[in-house]
Amino acid sequence: MILWLGLGAGLVTGLGWSKLRGHPYQSPALSHIWLVFVGFLPQFFAIYLANSRFTVSNWFAALCIVTSQLILLIFAWLNRNLSGMSILTIGLLLNMVVMIANGGFMPINPATAERVVGTEKITSLEIESRIGQKDILLPANDTRLEWLADRFLPPVEFPYQVAFSLGDVFIALGAFWTLARQQTI
């Protein structure tokens, strides 16, 4: 969700800045855009495809997630000359490192997960259970590189609760900057 906010805000900012300057908006000249689609495919087949969550083993799903992250990291690296892509690359790298360190899934501690999915759901789950698509329930003291895990939450008043990581913040900032800065010819 934080990525969508970064993308939307970056596009609106880029369009607004272009309009103020009297120039047409020019989207960033991303190279190798096909890698984004290829990078999403392993996750799609192992996680998002109907019933795959129950038919695909955890080790294979974790491998697919890390493979996706690696392909997206390659895409970001190949576009590192664009404004904001170095920030986005750092975010992808941070997420990939914490996921690899914790078995291929993004760790989330029980207290954070409780705010996202509710007390009833959390009490019915065991430690190391998968939550959502890419998260795994781990206590903070059992999490490697816990400071990089999904640990941040929007304010309680926010209508949609979702946990996000420091890497997600960098990814969103990088996406914002890439779209906001590529505004004029």
Is 108 within 8 Å of 57 (Cβ atoms)? no
Which element (helix H / strand E) includes 169? helix 166-181
Q: What is the pLDDT of residue 124?
A: 86
SS3 per residue for 66-126: HHHHHHHHHHHHHCCCCCCHHHHHHHHHHHHHHHHHCCCCEEECHHHHHHHHCHHHHHCCC
Element (H, E) at 57: none
Measured at the CA of 39, the angle between CA 59 and CA 91, to 5 degrees, comes to: 90
Residue 173 CA, chain-centre distance (Å), reads: 12
What's the pLDDT score for residue 185? Answer: 44
pTM: 0.91
| 3-class SS shares of the chain: helix, strand, coil, % to 5 | 60, 5, 35
**pLDDT for res 184:** 44
- One digit per residue, the tens of pLDDT, for the chain of length 185 reads 789 999 999 999 999 999 998 989 988 999 999 999 999 999 888 888 867 767 888 899 999 999 999 999 999 999 999 999 999 999 999 999 999 999 999 999 999 999 988 888 888 889 988 887 889 999 999 999 999 999 999 998 988 889 999 999 999 999 999 999 864 44
